């Protein structure tokens, strides 16, 4: 099985990992280990870490 949607990490994988993360709290990823592994690989990528940090910097709640 391919590690990424198009055999190479791309913006599509960034988007898909972000969508699948929304399912984490539902527990559904626990039922599908291939999806859980895909999300874990995506979250570990430097590009994902940078993109997440950039989004958090823009959308973080104001400091109290």
Model confidence pLDDT, tens digit, residues 2-32: 899 988 988 899 889 989 999 988 999 999 9
Residue 33 exposed, middle or buried by CB count within 10 Å (0-12, 13-18, 19+):
exposed
Name the more confident of 2 and 42: 42
CA distance 48 to 13: 9
Give me the residue label for tokens 């791309």: 10
Cβ burial of 17 (10 Å; 0-12, 13-18, 19+) is buried
What CATH number belongs to 11-55?
Answer: 1.20.1050.10
Domains in the chain: boundaries: 11-55
* Mean pLDDT calculated for residue range 42-51: 90
pLDDT of 33 strictly over 90 = yes
């Amino acid at each position: 099985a391919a590690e990424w949607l198009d055999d190479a990490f791309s913006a599509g994988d960034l988007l898909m990992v972000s969508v699948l993360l929304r399912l984490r709290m539902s527990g559904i990823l626990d039922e599908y280990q291939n999806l859980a592994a895909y999300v874990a690989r995506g979250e570990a990528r430097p590009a994902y870490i940078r993109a997440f940090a950039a989004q958090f910097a823009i959308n973080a709640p104001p400091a109290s």
